[in-house]
Amino acid sequence: MKILWDKINKKYELSWLSALIAFSGIFVFTQNIVFWRTVLNLVPFDSIQDYLFVGVMLIVLLSLMAILFSLILWSRRLTLVILIMLLSLSASFNYFSYHYQIYMDRDMLTNIIETNTLEVVNLLNGELLAWIILGAVVPFWLLTRIQIKPVVWWKGIMQRLCLVTGALVIISGTLFGLNFYKDFASFFRNNRQVVKLIMPSSFVASYVSYAKKNYSQAQPFKELGEDAELVKPVEQKKTLMIMFLGETARRQSFSLNGYEKNTNPKLSLQENLVSFQNVVSCGTATAVSVPCLFSKMTRAEFDKVSAENQDNVMDVLQKAGYKVLWRENDNGCKEVCNRIPTQNVSDYTSAKPSAGVLYYDEYLLEGLDNYILAQDPEDNLVIVLHMNGSHGPTYYQRYPNNARVFTPTCDTNRIETCETEVLKNTYDNTIAYTDDVINRGIELLKRYQDQYETSMLYVSDHGQSLGEKGFYLHGAPYMIAPEEQTSIPLIFWGSDEFYQNRNLTLSCVQKKAQQENYSHDNIFHSLLGLLQVQTKEYNPKLNIFTEC
């Protein structure tokens, strides 16, 4: 046994050159399971050329990995620390990408960095642990068998130069010398998302992009709406609007939009309510969509760092004289509420959280009556309620037992193991519960119609995939994201007086809601228009309600 153990535990002393090649091989073969699975599914293997193409891809990937490690691994002491970090990240990513069709880019990395502890806990399970053990711990043990020989600094640099040069020659020779460039160009042009599956280069590239955006491009704060003023006749009542900011709700699961299950039994009975049928989100993750939808910037020009360094529509409303309040029940407002009064549900409710950590969205309404009654009668009010909504994968924890309308349900975080209809039942329960909470908000507003012109706007930050085309959850790169992740609900309700004093025609709004295409780009200007705020920042062409 001792002899066997000694052989297993034997260490191999290698030069930097050999060690970097070994590291590259270990990562290419153990940390790119999803990449290779995707490639093998996409290549038709109709001819010998297809087999040669995959072989050349292996050579190119090994060469590129050698270049990457030559650039990031310099210290013998830090090498193992960096490698175990990359192995752990790669193994975890492979698990989620394998099961949920997740792709790594800057937006996904931002989402990961800004994910709170609760969301991490919801994702943990035994299979993930097994993936990390097999995908990170075992390869790391292999890496610890390698001892790097000490070398004079200039020789180390020369070895790296030789490795990088050799790798570039190999890449050039295989792509151009063997005439495979056209195959690579065609394959990756038609399947650009595949590059985002390569580990650990996708993590490294995403982090470099993230750091560049967040640290290298620091910008002075840009004031918007300094000229903002509320323009409404003196005889009009004050305004009270509640805006529900939904989380992970997709348009396709709302019966108001034609879904076969009755997920909106209460809102469908509300008069003066309009559900917009064709609305798309700015992004596929909260970290992008929330700041984008409140920003003046359109999706085409949106930049997260710029958004954080300028006023958003909530700031402009506050400058115009509105008293604003943000209530939070998700994982943060993504910098949108930095300059306005904010309350977290956990700060004011006496209710106990579900599953020990989660508060149901109904608690966003707790104490709102007292808040409204405590305000000066001359104040115009806007209240934003950021819901936990339909956040996955633990959909079953997002609603109380009495809201469990559709059964059977998928009561696990391993949603890929549930039958499609069972998973949809669970998700649909979150939508039905959202319907109930919004309806409660409208009923609350009705109690104040004698004092205020009241209205409600509901919009989701992005959608959600439930296994369609192999995708689960959200966060797919926008250019390949399925419509389930980008098609979102947008619902508006207003009191009779609210409609009348803005000369809004309900039938016109309903017609536009059925026929026209809208997006998060419209939210900034629609809010300013509905709330009668005049400023040079306002563009009536982007106000959904202008023509009505």
Q: Any idea what the CATH number is for the domain that residue 455 is in?
A: 3.40.720.10
Domain boundary among 186, 216, 246: 216
Is residue 403 situated within a structural domain? no
Is residue 413 situated within a structural domain? no
Number of domain units in the chain:
2
| One domain for residues 194 and 125 | yes
For residue range 35-50, what is the model confidence (pLDDT) as tens digits? Answer: 999 899 888 888 898 8
DSSP type of residue 174: I
What is the average pLDDT value for the chain, to the nearest integer?
89
Is residue 225 situated within a structural domain? no
| One domain for residues 450 and 323 | yes
| One domain for residues 195 and 272 | no
Reading the block at residue 260, the tokens are 């076969």
Is residue 179 situated within a structural domain? yes
| One domain for residues 150 and 182 | yes
- Upstream peptide bond of 408 is cis (omega within 30 degrees of 0): yes
Residues in the chain: 548
* Strand pairing class (273-276; 490-494): antiparallel
pLDDT at 12 over 90: no
| One domain for residues 81 and 201 | yes
Contacts of 317 (CB under 8 A, 6+ apart): 228, 324, 382, 527, 528, 531, 533
| One domain for residues 193 and 276 | no
Q: How many whole angstroms separate alpha carbon 454 and alpha carbon 437?
A: 17
Lowest mean pLDDT among 11-25, 184-198, 405-419, 528-542: 184-198
pLDDT at 338 over 60: yes
Is residue 420 situated within a structural domain? no
Share of the chain above pLDDT 70, in %: 93
| One domain for residues 101 and 236 | no
327 strand-pairing partners: 343, 385
Spell out where 88-188 has E strands: 146-148
| One domain for residues 44 and 141 | yes
| One domain for residues 323 and 203 | no
Q: Is 240 helix (H, G, I), strand (E, B) or coil?
A: strand
- Domain around 160: 2-216
Contacts of 496 (CB under 8 A, 6+ apart): 272
Q: What is the pTM of this model?
A: 0.77
Mean pLDDT of 50-76: 89
| 427 band by pLDDT with thresholds 50, 70 and 90 | very high
Q: Return the pLDDT at 154.
A: 81
Q: How many whole angstroms separate alpha carbon 99 and alpha carbon 88?
A: 17
Domain boundary among 184, 216, 248: 216
| One domain for residues 234 and 159 | no
User: For residues 359 and 346, is the Cβ–Cβ distance under 8 A?
Assistant: yes
| One domain for residues 211 and 250 | no
pLDDT at 216 over 50: no
